[in-house]
Structure 1
């Protein structure tokens, strides 16, 4: 099954254009939607999940028209939103059983078997009798995946699922996502670059409602081979280098500032070539998109 998004746009009542003519083809497997906070990721996820209307465009899931056949889409959809609340005084087993009823699993014996299997899959079976209010952040996220898997959905959407998790819980969550992403469409929306590089075979970068790049993470990293250079500088030199070079990222390291720049050739002998990572792809795309409006103004002034 394949999800196709064509010319999708959405503007909110306050005038913010959250999605601008978005086009994506999302195959089965793990698909990473990468972008900064406010990029339009959640707006796109909510639209796919039938929680809000689009202004224009289309979304199809196999033969289903997502924007018109909402009830049918919800039957094959699993969704873990960015803000996922639970009833703190209810056990995981009780709440998942209740959600299974809402999902249409009405036969008691079948429902108990499904609930037990999902709690086992998400490594929560041993704490199934514990109130959800006593769960850690990572345990709540795994419970969120358990409820998203009810009804054996064909498409699963997880929105910023690892934000705030400690490294151990993040690894557990990654392993769980890999397991469920083998035979269905799983869309992972995140601003964490390593989530996409670790998990996804296909990806897109989105910013300010526009898709900047799509492809295989390994391929898009290879496309930058020989074009990313690094140098340690004093923090007081950063602005000078930003004016002189295409600095795509900077961070503190051992009390100094480590910069990465994008250049087809070695800027000078003081720069060292870097094997590009997905973070370099991400920052180069975001930087280029941010510079484009300013460049357009320059070109207009020259014409």
Structure 2
């Protein structure tokens, strides 16, 4: 099974072009979609989840036309949007049971076993009878994950799924995704580079509505190996460094501003080589594009 996206475009009524001829092939397994806020990730996810219509292009899931055969897609789809509401007065147990019934799981015993399994997988078993309105943000996120897994979906779309999760919950969620990703297409849309680095064998970077890079995270990281240089500078000197070099990222450490520069050769003796990682790949691709957009 594979998802084929070809020249997909979407412009909203306010004139914002959210997707610009997006073309991707997403195979079975975990696929990471990286991009900054406003890159077009959620627009792409909503289109794939049949919640909005594209202006042009095509999407196929095996022999299913995703843009036209929406009912067929929904039978195979599990979706966790970035933001979702809950019915505040119903328990997670009853709500999951109701959703399972809507998805066609009519056998009460089968439905009971499924709901109990999902509640345990998402660490909600102990609060299964509490109303959803009393749940914390992280608990609601885990409930969202549980409902996305109902019905043995063949395509699972999760949009910024680790938002609101504490470190232990995040690790648990990663393990769950890895388990289900072995036999399913799982699209993980996020701006957290480590999530993609830890989980995905395939990925793409999207920026300003366009796919700017795609491939295997390890192979992509090899492409910048030996080209990343770092240096601690005064914050007041940052703009000058940006003018003179390709500064791809900055961060504070112990009160100092650390810059990462992409260069085939050592910029000057004051720079030291830095081991390349996926974050360097990500920032090297989006930094110049975002700067140009803001100029």
After TM superposition, the score normalised by the length of structure 1 is: 0.94
Matches within 5 A, 1:175-214: 175-214=175-214
* 175-184 or 36-45, larger mean C-alpha shift: 175-184
Matches within 5 A, 1:8-157: 8-157=8-157
- Displacement of 1:292 in angstroms is 6.5
Aligned-partner Cα distance in 1 for 2:191–2:160: 7
Alignment-derived partner of residue 245 in structure 2:
245
Aligned-partner Cα distance in 1 for 2:32–2:240: 35
Unaligned runs of at least 5 residues, structure 2: none
Alignment-derived partner of residue 6 in structure 2:
6
Give SS of 2:19's match: strand
- CA change 1:294–1:45 in 2 (3 A) is closer
Alignment-derived partner of residue 299 in structure 1:
none
Output one character per residue of 1:92-123: Cα deviation in whole Å (capped at 9) or x when no partner: 11000111111111222221122122222222
- Displacement of 1:133 in angstroms is 2.3
Output one character per residue of 1:236-284: Cα deviation in whole Å (capped at 9) or x when no partner: 1111111111101111111111000010101111100111111111110
Give SS of 2:231's match: strand
- Displacement of 1:291 in angstroms is 5.9
Matches within 5 A, 1:273-292: 273-290=273-290
Alignment-derived partner of residue 301 in structure 1:
none
Alignment-derived partner of residue 300 in structure 1:
none
Aligned-partner Cα distance in 1 for 2:274–2:255: 20
Give SS of 1:260's match: strand
Give SS of 2:260's match: strand
Unaligned runs of at least 5 residues, structure 1: 296-303
Output one character per residue of 1:140-160: Cα deviation in whole Å (capped at 9) or x when no partner: 222111111111010000001
Output one character per residue of 1:29-51: Cα deviation in whole Å (capped at 9) or x when no partner: 11110000110000000000000
Aligned-partner Cα distance in 1 for 2:294–2:180: 43
RMSD: 1.6
Query: Quick check: 1:161 aligned with 2:161?
Result: yes
- The question of whether the paired residues in 2 share the 8 Å contact of 1:138 and 1:170 is answered with no
- CA change 1:114–1:294 in 2 (3 A) is closer
Aligned-partner Cα distance in 1 for 2:155–2:179: 14
Give SS of 1:169's match: helix
Q: How many residues align?
A: 295
- The question of whether the paired residues in 2 share the 8 Å contact of 1:251 and 1:259 is answered with yes
Alignment-derived partner of residue 222 in structure 1:
222
